[in-house]
Amino acid sequence: MKEHPITGGIAAELSGIDLKQPISDDLAEALRDSLARNLVLVIRDQFLDIDQHRRLAEVFGPPAINPYAPGKGDHPEMTSVIKEASERTGVFGGGWHSDLTFLEKPPGGSVLCAIQIPPYGGDTLYASQQAAWDALPEPLKQLLDGRDAIHVGKPYGVKWAPPVEEQSMKGSTKRNDPEADKERFHPAVLTHPVTGRKGLYINETYTMRLDGLSEADSAPILRQIFQHSTLPEFCCRLRWSPGMITIWDNYSTQHYAINDYHGHRREMRRTTFEGDRPIREWA
């Protein structure tokens, strides 16, 4: 396996591996190590079927069912992320976020396979929240370190639900769930269990306020953090190709699906793998 950095701060492309074949213990260890260091992995020309996709996810943790976008049939852990050529709505995963941070145990990461891509557009942005933490002004570091942030599932709840005409994947996602409106407390800063690097765990989609501060008092602080955490210096922009796979660490990154391909169909297949309840320091 060869590793080729994509930017100076996040993501690497891997070559010299065929994930359609059984994954050896040595390869699994190398993949986990690479993900811990690079946070986003890209492997091209794999064209995995569902069983191979699941086997790859199991390298990183037990595959998890997205409670708000479960897969159909015999594979509820496999979410089909589809935008039809005729749709003019938002896109699943649009807006900067880490996945489902309003859950008690958000997913540890995801494995996303490209099934059908548009002739242009449909790229995905990723941002290293470890790089964002490293560059954060010291007063903000002191404010956040040791403090919780409060998350709610705005797109899936009742109180902040987006207009129906803007919702993506109608009929395939669960909406208007009052449970998603409940506040969930997670550390604003996490320490990676392998590398020991700190990273922000705050995102614009789900983070409502900081513990000990009102929503109004939190708002200007969070706006500053949101803008800082996705600066270009911390990001990479991935152009998809057929059969390509991307794996990411959901605790150390944010991502953004770009909705710029109206009139063209895009289909991806995704599964998440389980994580632990976020804590400040993993043993």
Q: Identity (one letter) of the amino acid at 100? A: L
18 in active site: no
97 in active site: yes
Dist. CA 225–CA 25, nearest whole Å: 39
Q: Catalytic: which of 151, 255, 266, 269?
A: 255
Dist. CA 122–CA 259, nearest whole Å: 6
Q: Catalytic: which of 97, 186, 197, 269?
A: 97
Q: Count of CB atoms within 10 A of residue 171's CB?
A: 5
Q: Catalytic: which of 55, 75, 99, 269?
A: 99
Dist. CA 134–CA 273, nearest whole Å: 27
75 in active site: no
Q: Catalytic: which of 55, 192, 266, 270?
A: 270
55 in active site: no
C-alpha 195: how far from its chain's center?
Answer: 19
User: Which ranges in the chain belong to alpha helices (H)?
Assistant: 25-38, 50-58, 129-134, 138-144, 215-229
Structure tokens at 198: 């700190």
Catalytic residues: 97, 99, 255, 270
